[in-house]
Amino acid sequence: MTPQKFWLVWLDATPTTKHRHPTYETARGEADRIAMMPENKGRKVYVLEALDWRCNDGMPKVEL
């Protein structure tokens, strides 16, 4: 299986984010939607890009 890049949207000061967006554009749209919600006025919404991963089983760094 080929590693695939993905993006996450994170609302500052919240504990987790779970949904993997397959493109920057879909993540950016979701970030815009969340930022426009009245309850999030003034809060930062980040679009985060996964660059690589590690696993504690002796595997080398895998770049996405």
- Mean pLDDT for each consecutive 10-residue tract of the chain (64 residues)? 86 91 98 96 96 79 80
Q: What's the pLDDT score for residue 1?
A: 58
Is beta strand 52-53 parallel, antiparallel or unpaired with respect to 45-49? unpaired
Q: What's the pLDDT score for residue 36?
A: 97
Query: Hey, is 26 helix, strand or coil?
Result: helix
What is the extent of the structural domain holding 36?
A: 7-63
Nearest alpha-carbon partner for 52 in 61, 43, 44: 61
Nearest alpha-carbon partner for 54 in 1, 3, 6, 16: 3
pTM for this predicted structure? 0.80
Is residue 46 included in any domain, yes or no? yes
Is residue 38 included in any domain, yes or no? yes
Is residue 1 included in any domain, yes or no? no
Query: Hey, is 44 helix, strand or coil?
Result: coil
Is residue 2 included in any domain, yes or no? no
Q: What's the total number of domains in the chain?
A: 1
Q: Which amino acid is at 36?
A: M
* Model confidence pLDDT, tens digit, residues 49-64: 999 887 777 767 788 8
Is residue 33 included in any domain, yes or no? yes
